[in-house]
Structure 1
């Protein structure tokens, strides 16, 4: 292996993508999409620079930092870290962005070393990272500690194993064709609504969330960090209130993104007990991303997951007629949610591995 002379410098977070110091952040957005395209042929899995910038500029709930690797003046890779700001958070989430042409020259090792050093310097005891994989068989298949799902070994997984990371979980990335016949969705929604009964009613809105629903939406969003299957990945219990809902939605909509929320309200208590989010970038003809989806543990078994998914997909067809596909990730051990997806027409297109290591 021939090593190269690297310089690694902090990623500058500009006030605007039009500023003189914004070139590296724009390059970050481009590289993010190129890596996803190279890994699984799905560049739209990655947000662009405009979508990411508001998140990086607001450090209230999470601090994001990055480092840029160069050979001479040419960018050959980047690594980013995200630090949740809850008092008991002790993990750093890492994303390594190095194209195949730059692997094998020390770039990936140097960036990972820098990321792990930074995690330790900030007092984090765990480092977490995700790898993307095509839906194909290979000579060596990797099975996570959950025992659910499998992914083909790739250069990134080899690097992570060599550095002591453990594959904790596999997630399935599925897509739904928004141009398919909507009648199966309508039938599934009608059946689920009848099964759930009068104790549950559907609420729907476009972000920003109406003021009277913010506290309830905060409560159900907080459950996502604790109720969603995550294997042994150590995720902090997120702290949510109405103000955090407002902050998050300001970040999401700042770059022209649109988000539809369909929730289920438990009529006897007035609590929101399930929700589904669909998001699209300013380009309304692009891929739609399913963000949070959750049914509170106490209310599972009433087909609320089917209700929020089907209702939002039907609503989205009318709101965003130019978007052709919805992309979503679900843990391979989350059989109830995968069964809903499969029944209404989602098909697997890629997989992700969730890795963890003591810093």
Structure 2
């Protein structure tokens, strides 16, 4: 293909997807699905356009910007940049989306260069991004700096290497068949209840979370940025309070989504020490996304991860009988959580690679 310089303009964020100026944002949602489909054959791991819009409209916690590349009137690629808004944040997360038919024409080069210049102009010193990979072995495999897992080389991973990014971590994308026999999940749940003992209590809510639990939930959500295995990925400690919990719930549910939250309370201290979340779009026949799952470090070893995960899965089968599967991502070095997933019945369907570049 002939290399050319695309025309690049900012991505407009409309007030509604029905607005006259919403066509580019609708195209963004469609392109996101296309990239997931082309990369790993799983378009449903991409959030819906309505979900994306809700998160973009509120910049309080994360400022999202996008740029659209065109050849004439045709959109040939996009790049988005997300800036966490913590006071000491120094990273930008980018997502490069160029369809296969336009790869190699110079679109990806132009968009990566633009993302870097925008990141520098915003005062950030670190760029982070993720790649998708099929669960296959090829002649050309790459291993992250963690040493855990490996994935096949893709055109995007090669472009990132050429642009100075380092391959830091592999995440396993697993799916659980919600229509499978629930007996193994019930058995695992009973074992987890016995192992947890009387000091731990399970609670479950559909969002919004009760007002008197928001502070405790904020505390455990904050732990995800520091307690989850992340290799050498440089993440700033997130700052959470009850107001941020409310903002997040609005972003996650304002487009008709449903969010189920299961937590474990440590009865002696009253602290929420483990949680699991399941989210589905307004289309209740779509795939379910498992969001965060975490057990606070000081409470590990009591089977609390299995407790929250199994409780939520069994409850979800009753709530959302039309959803076919649950999709989740976990670091390859997170053997305790992967062991739970495997015992429950999750199977690998794709992988993600975590990359970063210091400016």
- TM bucket, shorter chain: over 0.9
**Alignment correspondent of 2:168:** 168
For 1:6, the equivalent position in structure 2 comes to: 6
Deviation at 1:5, TM superposition (A): 3.9
Query: Residue 131 of structure 2 aligns with which residue?
Result: 131
User: Secondary structure in 2 aligned to 1:187?
Assistant: helix
User: 2: CA distance between counterparts of 1:286 and 1:73?
Assistant: 32
1:220-299 paired onto structure 2 within 5 Å: 220-299=220-299
1:186 maps to which residue?
186
Q: Distance in 1 between matches of 2:228 and 2:141?
A: 25
Q: CA deviation at 1:4?
A: 2.2
Q: What stretches of structure 1 of length at least 5 have no aligned partner?
A: none
Aligned equivalent of 1:16: 16
Whole-angstrom distance in 1 between the partners of 2:320 and 2:220: 26
Q: CA deviation at 1:324?
A: 1.0
Give the secondary structure class of the aligned counterpart of 1:289. strand
For this pair of structures, how many residues does the alignment match? 359
Counterpart Cα distance in 2 of 1:203 and 1:288? 20
CA–CA distance in 2 between the matches of 1:300 and 1:227? 11
Alpha-carbon distance, 1:3 to partner: 1.1
> 2:105 maps to which residue?
105
1:145 aligns with 2:128: no
CA distance in structure 2 between the partners assigned to 1:231 and 1:140 by the alignment? 22
- Stretch deviating more after TM superposition (47-56 or 163-172): 47-56
Once the two structures are superposed, residues 48-94 of structure 1 have per-residue CA deviations (whole angstroms, 9 ceiling, x without a partner) of 21111011000000000000000011100000000000011000000
SS of the counterpart of 1:21?
helix
Deviations 1:220-254 (A, max 9, x none): 00000000000000111000000000000011111
Q: SS state of the match for residue 21, structure 2?
A: coil
Secondary structure of 2:170's partner?
strand
CA deviation digits over 1:265-322, x for unaligned, max 9? 0000110000000000000010000001000000000000000000000000000010
Q: Is 1:334 matched with 2:301?
A: no
Alpha-carbon distance in 1 for matches of 2:12, 2:41: 28
Residues 139-162 of structure 1: CA distance to partner in whole angstroms, max 9, x if unpaired?
Answer: 111000000000000100000000
Query: Which structure 2 residue ranges, 5 or more long, are not aligned?
Result: none
Which whole-Å CA distance do the structure 2 matches of 1:20 and 1:268 have between them?
Answer: 55
RMSD: 0.6
Q: Counterpart in 2 of 1:348?
A: 348
**SS of alignment partner, residue 66 of structure 1:** strand
CA distance in 1, matches of 2:47, 2:302: 34
Secondary structure at the counterpart of residue 22 of structure 1 = helix
C-alpha distance in structure 1 between counterparts of 2:341 and 2:197, whole Å? 22
Provide the C-alpha distance between the structure 2 equivalents of 1:88 and 1:254, rounded to a whole number of angstroms.
Answer: 29
In the alignment, the residues of structure 1 paired with residue 5 and residue 58 of structure 2 have an alpha-carbon distance, to the nearest angstrom, of 34
Is the CA contact (8 Å cut-off) linking 2:54 and 2:252 kept in structure 1? yes
Please give the alpha-carbon distance, in whole angstroms, between the structure 1 residues aligned to 2:257 and 2:14.
20
